[in-house]
Structure 1
Amino acid sequence: MKYTLAFYLRIAFQNLIVHKGRMILALLGILFAVMSLVAFGNISNGLKKQIDSEIGKFGKNLIILRSGYMRFTGRGAMPFGDSKSLKLETVQRIGESVPGIVQIAPFYDVSYPARYEEKTVTAGVVGTTEAMFQIRNLDLLMGTYFTEDDNVNGRKKAVVGYKVFENLFQQENPIGKYILVYRVPTEVIGVLKEKGTDLAGQDQDLQVYVPLTSIMRRYSNVDFIKGAYIQIQDKIPLTDMKQILQSFIRTIRNMKPEQKDDFSVFTMEDIVKTQEQGIRLVSILTVIASIVSFLIGGLGIFAIMLLSISERKLEIGIRRVVGSKKRDIILQFLTESVVVALMGGALGILVGFIITVFVSYFGNVPFSLYLENIVVSLLISTLVGILAGIYPAVQGTKYEPVAVLYG
């Protein structure tokens, strides 16, 4: 007797419906494995796109000088150690003396409340020079940037990020209005276009930019800065310029060879490498967890199929009597084990997709579908179903029809 694939599938689904409880348990391992692969594949792909996008937002040939020690983590460059050692004069000497620098923007940043009428928002207040807007590709939505003259005279003017504008003014024209930045009345002269979060997870739209001299004299009353953004010429390798800057700073500060740097010089690529290492580590752990889950799922299917065969000896005997060959019995039970595995895989893809949407929406990660992981997951699910079903299927052919029917 010759059977079609449709016949095998019909019998398989009938058996799944009868024993749906045990089949659900059998496919859970496959579900978790595929869910992990699909969800992480999609999310990591989205993160890589986000990293590429952020590098473009920061501008080309950019080196960052920061006071204190910087620890590179999956969240970006995090400052540690002394934050009062870097002086404005040091950065000015770098700009005057180091060849190959296009422009340099020193900065001092701090978190302060910004208030307009009854509305308040906590923002990152960045004191800097007009060069910052060009180096960081900070484009205006309306108004103007502050000027070198504003910096020289320490004027209380501000260019605000889009979310600061949105939260405080709610589409009201802010140009010429005054906000209180840490109790200091400050005139809003410009609003920046939306920028999003940077590689460290900081919201660039929740920032207020003011002249550097203003924040040092009027807002924070400090005699040091936090760092500088340095744009260099295209022809100079970033790694070479990093070494030049480190040597120059140590020299002008008369640091001894045994003294450790109390400043950090790094590039966006340094941050990206750290984040990519974090993604790779999580990827390896995800693959290991998925392999374990596939093994557990395969063992579950194996055990369920053995139990199913022992319960269906009569069915096997009858089919053998009416003409079914051993090959037909093997194909039937292989079909059932593969169907269970593929159902687990399909549900895993669905759950992985839901997790991807959730993380994309709430985690501010670009939505991305990594189709390669989806295809690989289905292929592995099929292979697990075949391997888990071979032995039970062969065992099913060992029942003698006469012994089963009259035993």
Structure 2
Amino acid sequence: MSHRLFLIIAVIIRIFKEYKVRSALSVLGVAFGTFALITMVSISNSLQEKSRKEVEKFGKNLIVVKSGQIKVFRGRVHSFSTATTLKVADAQAIQQQIDHVVKALPSYHVSYPVRKGGTTILSTIIGVDNSYLQLKNLSIKEGRVYTDREEETGEKVIVVGAKIAQELFKGEDPVGKTLLIFRVPCRIIGVLEERGADLSGEDQDILIYTPLKTAVRRLANVDYINTIYVQVDDDRYIPYVKRKIKELLRKRHLIKAGEKDDFTVLTPDDYMRMEKEAIHIFSILGSVSATISFLIGGIGILSIMILIVNERIEEIGIRRAVGAKKSDIMLQFLMESSFISITGSLIGVFLGILLSEAVFFAFNLPEALSVSWIVISFVLSAVVGIISGLYPAVKASSINPVDALRRL
């Protein structure tokens, strides 16, 4: 059996040499199909993994209520109107009256210049309960978070992001030092671990956190808030809670039927909608491209194998005359077609892995090569080769040796 296999492989190599251009075109067709499939799956998986990590940064099962009319475009929040109707009492009502709400944290965001010595940078100050850091999976690198007592009294204490510490203190320990936030001196009690941007596109490392009372009374001097963070006990209930929040706030804000909301309720899906749509479209286009390429490769293999059969009728007749069985002829042609497709698959796998790694590196995406899809691409290429070579193999094995020898 091994001797027969060796002879068949030797014949396949000879055929490749004789029909270089046709064989190369067939190989390239399958190669592009495999390449498209592996690249599409790898990049799609990587983008999904990136999205999953961004959701973790955003906060587990988190809904964000913003004052005014907000739209999310390409993951970024754009304000179309402002309002001063959102109150701490609204957050309390959400937590007390809506099922599946674990906590509802009132918050106030304000952008102010932050100064130390002669260096000034613009930062967003977030006044919020100290449990917010845990809600957003933020970790303290140095120092501590503010206490409940400091929240109650509105102490001028802050926890700063990693970039704030780096840019203003240049390696110096910032804990215990003072920053001027819009002419208000505030004492740094903690520095956060570096996090990068979250799902909303906001850089977490340039933010400053302080007690809510400190932000609204000592920094902004207002009696309202502009954000409520609502944590849900299970992600299955996020749509339900979102709907209930809208109903509750419209009722509390006395908004009549037909009037626009003076608030916006956002979920991770709202931030990721365009990204998910882009991933979905990319996956569809990649699948279509891979399918067409495999189809073209299969048609190429079919056409070249039919030509090869027609041009090797005399050879087939001689082999049959010296004792080759129909099954031997069929096996040879099936192996030839499979060899073409598997060769193309090997090239496609190599190129697919190469491009995927390049994309991961260039766009700082997580590694997401799928071994299972590489195996599937091999199986698909073998199936394409067998199916494409089936008709030519049957045709070759059915050639009458007497008729074939008469052509000599």
TM-score class, shorter-chain normalisation, is: 0.7 to 0.9
Offset at residue 139 of structure 1 (A)? 1.4
Q: Which amino acid aligns with 1:106?
A: S
Partner SS, residue 328 of structure 1: helix
Mapped pair 1:339 → 2:339: yes
- What corresponds to 1:82 in structure 2? 80
Contact kept? 1:107, 1:129, Cα under 8 Å: yes
Residues 295-354 of structure 1: CA distance to partner in whole angstroms, max 9, x if unpaired? 111112222323434444554454344333343232222211111111222222222222
Residues 47-91 of structure 1: CA distance to partner in whole angstroms, max 9, x if unpaired? 444444444444445321023445567x54x43452422x2x623
Contact kept? 2:154, 2:211, Cα under 8 Å: no
Question: Which runs of structure 2 are paired with 1:314-353 in the superposition (5 Å)?
Answer: 315-353=315-353
- What corresponds to 1:107 in structure 2? 108
Mapped pair 1:94 → 2:90: yes
Distance 2:114 2:406 in 1: 86
Question: Which runs of structure 2 are paired with 1:34-49 in the superposition (5 Å)?
Answer: 34-49=34-49
- What corresponds to 1:248 in structure 2? 248
What's the TM-score once normalised by structure 1's chain length? 0.78
| CA separation of 1:16 and 1:174: change in aligned 2, threshold 3 A | farther
**Unmatched 5+ residue regions in structure 1?**
none
Partner SS, residue 39 of structure 1: helix
Question: Which runs of structure 2 are paired with 1:190-209 in the superposition (5 Å)?
Answer: 190-209=190-209
Q: Which amino acid aligns with 2:128?
A: T
Partner SS, residue 368 of structure 2: coil
Q: Which amino acid aligns with 2:82?
A: K
Partner SS, residue 86 of structure 2: helix
- What corresponds to 2:5 in structure 1? 5
What's the TM-score once normalised by structure 2's chain length? 0.78
Mapped pair 1:304 → 2:296: no
Supply the RMSD in Å over aligned alpha carbons: 4.2
Mapped pair 1:392 → 2:401: no
- What corresponds to 1:160 in structure 2? 160
Question: Which runs of structure 2 are paired with 1:261-300 in the superposition (5 Å)?
Answer: 261-268=261-268, 276=276, 278-300=278-300
Partner SS, residue 82 of structure 2: coil
Residues 146-170 of structure 1: CA distance to partner in whole angstroms, max 9, x if unpaired? 5675897684x65333355456656
Distance 1:113 1:314 in 2: 88
Percent identity, please: 34
| CA separation of 1:49 and 1:2: change in aligned 2, threshold 3 A | closer
User: 362-371 or 178-187, which moves further after superposition?
Assistant: 178-187
Q: How many residues align?
A: 400
Distance 2:402 2:353 in 1: 47
Contact kept? 2:316, 2:401, Cα under 8 Å: no
Distance 1:4 1:281 in 2: 48
Contact kept? 2:59, 2:137, Cα under 8 Å: yes
| CA separation of 1:331 and 1:154: change in aligned 2, threshold 3 A | same
- What corresponds to 1:374 in structure 2? 374
| CA separation of 1:359 and 1:144: change in aligned 2, threshold 3 A | same
- What corresponds to 1:15 in structure 2? 15
Distance 1:23 1:123 in 2: 63
Distance 2:325 2:162 in 1: 73
Contact kept? 1:37, 1:377, Cα under 8 Å: yes
| CA separation of 1:348 and 1:205: change in aligned 2, threshold 3 A | farther
Distance 2:184 2:307 in 1: 77
- What corresponds to 1:127 in structure 2? 126
User: 17-26 or 217-226, which moves further after superposition?
Assistant: 217-226
User: 51-60 or 191-200, which moves further after superposition?
Assistant: 51-60
Offset at residue 384 of structure 1 (A)? 0.9
| CA separation of 1:234 and 1:311: change in aligned 2, threshold 3 A | closer
Contact kept? 2:64, 2:227, Cα under 8 Å: yes
Partner SS, residue 84 of structure 1: coil
User: 393-402 or 245-254, which moves further after superposition?
Assistant: 393-402
Residues 73-122 of structure 1: CA distance to partner in whole angstroms, max 9, x if unpaired? 7x54x43452422x2x6231213444156341413265x887878999x8
Distance 1:331 1:236 in 2: 54
Offset at residue 370 of structure 1 (A)? 2.7
| CA separation of 1:90 and 1:183: change in aligned 2, threshold 3 A | closer
**Unmatched 5+ residue regions in structure 2?**
none
Distance 1:300 1:94 in 2: 67
Residues 207-233 of structure 1: CA distance to partner in whole angstroms, max 9, x if unpaired? 444566777799999997653312367
Distance 1:118 1:4 in 2: 84
Distance 1:250 1:315 in 2: 85
Distance 1:313 1:163 in 2: 76
| CA separation of 1:25 and 1:208: change in aligned 2, threshold 3 A | farther
Distance 2:117 2:305 in 1: 71
- What corresponds to 2:363 in structure 1? 363
